[in-house]
Amino acid sequence: MKKRSPKAIIHINRNILQQNHKHDTKYPVCRVEVQGNTYYGSRVDIWGPSSMVYSPDKPRKCGAKLWIETDSELYIHDQTTYKDMKHQHTKGYMDHMAKVNKGQEYKYPSMGKGKPIDKDKFLNTKKSL
């Protein structure tokens, strides 16, 4: 009897793809779910039969409308996890923001633009009665 591999779902994480484009990074975007675990890679080799599924009316919980299903063995190139990427992304994002903010730490970090916040003026505002 041939040992059967667990079913895997493979799709592209659009959020990471867009972040890569925006921040000029190259984090893996191929998302592989197998046995309740999620991995990311830059490429996925499928060694056997697979099916591509397009389901716009019933997307996956993550929002994917197009994915690949397979029971075949896989090889994930540059395999990592979201936790590991998040750790790397934080450093890369902060390096990017340092460039955008020209080294000024207290600008709006989520937008990378705007004027530095005058904390004293902001905190000492009084409401008139």
Name which residue leads in pLDDT, 100 or 14: 14
Q: How far is C-alpha 70 from the chain's CA centre?
A: 22
The pLDDT assigned to 98 comes to: 57
Local confidence band at 41 (pLDDT 50, 70, 90 cut-offs): very high
Q: What is the pTM of this model?
A: 0.63
Asked whether residue 90 carries a pLDDT value surpassing 80, the answer given is no
Mean pLDDT of the 92-101 span = 56
Local confidence band at 100 (pLDDT 50, 70, 90 cut-offs): low
Mean pLDDT of the 1-24 span = 80
Asked whether residue 61 carries a pLDDT value surpassing 80, the answer given is yes
Local confidence band at 59 (pLDDT 50, 70, 90 cut-offs): very high
- CA-to-CA separations, 61 to 5, 58, 64, 65, 125, in angstroms, rounded: 23, 9, 7, 10, 45
Question: Mapping DSSP to helix (H, G, I), strand (E, B) and coil, where does residue 124 land?
Answer: coil
Local confidence band at 120 (pLDDT 50, 70, 90 cut-offs): low
Tokens of 88: 């790397």
